[in-house]
Structure 1
Amino acid sequence: MEKLKSLGFDTSCFLTTITSGELTHQHLQKRNDPWFAALGRKCIHITWGDRGAISLEGLGLQVVNNVDDAEFILAHGTLAAKYESLGGEVKWMGKPDKVIYTSAMSLAGVDAHECIMVGDSLHHDIKGANAPGIASAFITGGIHSDELGLVETAGEDAINSLCSKHGSYPSYVLPSFTW
């Protein structure tokens, strides 16, 4: 909620939040998913310090430093993507995987048709919303503004081309989102 507050949102309008780190922690704790149940207890935990780190408290994990001693590696998305590109197996817990969206809907007690994802990343936000059938609003003035040649508003052809390139299709397109 602190991140939302720092962006100027009234946090009383939100039921709750969930991050990929919190979701990973829950799955490591419960281990009711077969993939998590099969994991061992020795892991290498790679983080960016406070950003991206999840608490390992209460998980019964032993953090090791030698890859030969590790039964799995717990890492953030950027590193996981590189590991996967080299042939490693990755369990995705954050955007664009639909698990983060379905978990958020479950927490809020709503269905996909009652939600909208507002985001500026076609790969993470919009593609992620497409999988579980959530409506989405693509903010063109965000991270893709340079690709769109954005001055004030992006043209329809540029938006369609960029969406096609990313395989992400928003329900709505907005130049900005302010609260």
Structure 2
Amino acid sequence: MNTSASFPAPVAVIEGLSALSERYDALVCDVWGVVHNGVEAYPAAVEALTRFRKERGGIVVLVTNSPRPHGPVLTQLEGFGVTEGAFDAVVTSGDVTHAHLARMTETRVYHIGPERDLSLYEGTSFTLADADDAEVVCVTGLVNDEVETPDDYRTLLEGFAARRLPLVSANPDIVVERGFKMIWCGGALARLYAELGGPIVQLGKPHAPIYRAAFARIKGIAGAPVAPERILAVGDGLHTDMRGATDQGIDALFVTAGIHGADFGAIEAPDAALVTQRLATEKVRAVAAIPYLAW
């Protein structure tokens, strides 16, 4: 990690990734809020990642807290207009959660989330169970995130917490922006469960397992390990992307116009002082900030 400045370092707001690109050989890049908004791709972000790969010769691993394995996410990216030339690999929270579930001895799972996420259990010994028979709870999201809130699940989670059932959160995100609307995610249910005293397991950002998986993919693509100081995390989440990068000892580029966009003044021209202050408050680091990812 580049630590020449004292913590917290004043954060420069840059116009494009090209201002930093020579310092890094690989990017660990967030997806939702950086590359797309849940509806369509951000063309400037796709161009930036493509140029980092083609002009800089860098490696781009997209790292997302999507609760599904990477196959369905690749299909989703294509549908949003994220071209294959923009990335080398995708690592999802669903990937690392699936690996964790495959190692568990429990076999009856109560699933909280939409049916489209049931691919998470393929290749494991889990069978779907009702609330009374479950041995473990797995959360991929709210069943209907357009209308529901975490409080709709309070009574259900109180019952699980009283039984001390482990809850595996396949998506640690609290909220994401879908188009121009904030949507509750599975991490909000995991947070509520922890408040109720229930035991939780979280494997996506900002937690170490998903970064180990991403670094392994970078090593495989490069043919050798890439030094941590040559890896840059790119993301819009203070509690996921910036926290994860700080904890893993890698530099980070903070995309300010994502889920925290309203906190820094004008969306297109964030106030550097507000950004620096917020990073310090959260006790996370960023080498620079950028409104939207661009080259």
Normalised by the length of structure 2, the TM-score is 0.52
- The 1:142–1:13 alpha-carbon spacing in structure 2 relative to 1, beyond 3 Å, is closer
Matched, 1:40 2:150: no
Out of 153, 164, 189, which is 1:79 matched to?
Answer: 189
- The count of aligned residue pairs is 170
Matched, 1:158 2:274: yes
Out of 105, 119, 136, which is 2:215 matched to?
Answer: 105
The 5 Å alignment of 1:158-177 reads 158-177=274-293
- The 1:8–1:119 alpha-carbon spacing in structure 2 relative to 1, beyond 3 Å, is farther
1:65 maps to 130
Measure, in 2, the Cα distance between the counterparts of 1:134 and 1:4: 26
- The 1:147–1:48 alpha-carbon spacing in structure 2 relative to 1, beyond 3 Å, is farther
1:97 CA drift (Å): 1.0
Which 5+ residue runs of structure 2 have no aligned equivalent?
A: 1-73, 141-186, 220-224
Q: Which amino acid aligns with 2:125?
A: G
Query: Does the 8 Å contact 1:20/1:94 carry over to 2?
Result: yes
1:74 CA drift (Å): 0.8
Deviations 1:31-62 (A, max 9, x none): 2xxxx4xx411111111342x55431221112
1:83 CA drift (Å): 0.8
- The 1:8–1:66 alpha-carbon spacing in structure 2 relative to 1, beyond 3 Å, is closer
Measure, in 2, the Cα distance between the counterparts of 1:53 and 1:160: 41
Measure, in 2, the Cα distance between the counterparts of 1:15 and 1:156: 32
1:164 CA drift (Å): 2.4
Measure, in 2, the Cα distance between the counterparts of 1:3 and 1:178: 21
Query: Does the 8 Å contact 2:267/2:291 carry over to 1?
Result: no
Deviations 1:104-124 (A, max 9, x none): 111221443332111111111
Q: Which has the higher contact order (CA 8 A, sep 6+)?
A: 2
Out of 27, 32, 42, which is 2:100 matched to?
Answer: 27
Measure, in 1, the Cα distance between the counterparts of 2:246 and 2:270: 22
Out of 89, 104, 122, which is 1:16 matched to?
Answer: 89
Measure, in 1, the Cα distance between the counterparts of 2:90 and 2:215: 10
1:7 CA drift (Å): 5.5
1:12 CA drift (Å): 3.0
Q: Which amino acid aligns with 1:91?
A: V
- The 1:171–1:4 alpha-carbon spacing in structure 2 relative to 1, beyond 3 Å, is farther
**Structure with the largest fraction of strand:** 2
SS in 2 for 1:91: strand
Matched, 1:95 2:211: no
Q: Which amino acid aligns with 2:114?
A: W
Q: Which amino acid aligns with 1:79?
A: L
Residues 6-15 or 148-157, more deviating? 6-15
Query: Does the 8 Å contact 1:102/1:132 carry over to 2?
Result: no
Q: Which amino acid aligns with 1:175?
A: P
1:66 CA drift (Å): 2.2
Query: Does the 8 Å contact 1:25/1:54 carry over to 2?
Result: no
Measure, in 1, the Cα distance between the counterparts of 2:114 and 2:283: 29
- The 1:2–1:177 alpha-carbon spacing in structure 2 relative to 1, beyond 3 Å, is farther
